[in-house]
Amino acid sequence: MTVDVIKLRISEIFFSLQGETRTVGLPTTFVRLTGCPLRCRYCDTSYAFTGGDWMTLDEILEQVAIHSAKHVTVTGGEPLAQPNCIPLLTALCQLGYKVSLETSGALDIAAVDERVVKVMDLKTPASAESEKNLWSNLDHLSENDQIKFVICNESDYEWCKARMLEHKLEERCEVLLSPSQDELSPSVLADWILRDKLNVRFQVQLHKVLWGDEAGR
């Protein structure tokens, strides 16, 4: 009898400081899966759309263990585009890692292990992919999860505020707002947040502050 081996196409596995979310600054192992059904206008990981290497689940876990980090982030691309992302997340949780998933919110998150912190990046109009947002995913978020908006301009910001009110996002989980690099000044977004007294976490990408656009650092 043949036993199916779980495999995923991996763009890269690397060790760095977490650049975003509530664990910003913590040493983290990143597992970047290949492939994404979205084409956000400002995407900074388009190299992960294609290529990569097929690895078994055991091989991935062995590579993660080398770095001895407590935190593991599974990212992409869009990691949930590969169905075997689900067993990968569960396996990491079973090994005691503090696991987070960076997902676009365009694919169903219902099957994601409840121990995983889901960081769902809802797409704004300026991303050119806002029609892909799967709003039913909000029902599968807990207070331990996070919703992220990348803000490109004032119209995006106003759209974000409207969605926060419409879906009562602050009552569901923590909300993160980030300025799109080279499109919106971080200080301008910070001023808007303070002016409107939004109950959100402002963030910039720490890894880009430290190392620029260098990948896999």
> Does 125 fall in a domain?
yes
Residue 215 has pLDDT above 70, yes or no: no
Could you tell me if 16 and 30 are in contact, meaning their C-beta atoms sit under 8 angstroms apart? Answer: yes
> Does 161 fall in a domain?
yes
Question: How many Å apart are CA 195 and CA 182, to the nearest integer?
Answer: 22
pLDDT per residue over 53-95, tens digit each? 999 999 999 999 999 999 999 999 999 999 999 999 999 999 9
Structural domains in the chain (count): 1
Q: What is the pLDDT of residue 2?
A: 44
> Does 2 fall in a domain?
no
Angle formed at CA 164 by CA 159 and CA 167, multiple of 5 degrees: 115
Q: What is the pLDDT of residue 19?
A: 93
> Does 182 fall in a domain?
yes
> Does 214 fall in a domain?
no
What CATH number is attached to the domain comprising 66?
Answer: 3.20.20.70
> Does 158 fall in a domain?
yes
pLDDT-derived band at 214 (thresholds 50, 70, 90) equals low
Angle formed at CA 180 by CA 10 and CA 193, multiple of 5 degrees: 125
Residue 159 has pLDDT above 70, yes or no: yes
> Does 216 fall in a domain?
no
Q: Which domain holds residue 18?
A: 7-208
Helix H or strand E encompassing 159: helix 154-167
> Does 213 fall in a domain?
no
Residue 212 has pLDDT above 90, yes or no: no
pLDDT per residue over 86-140, tens digit each? 999 999 999 999 999 999 999 999 999 999 999 999 999 999 999 999 999 999 9
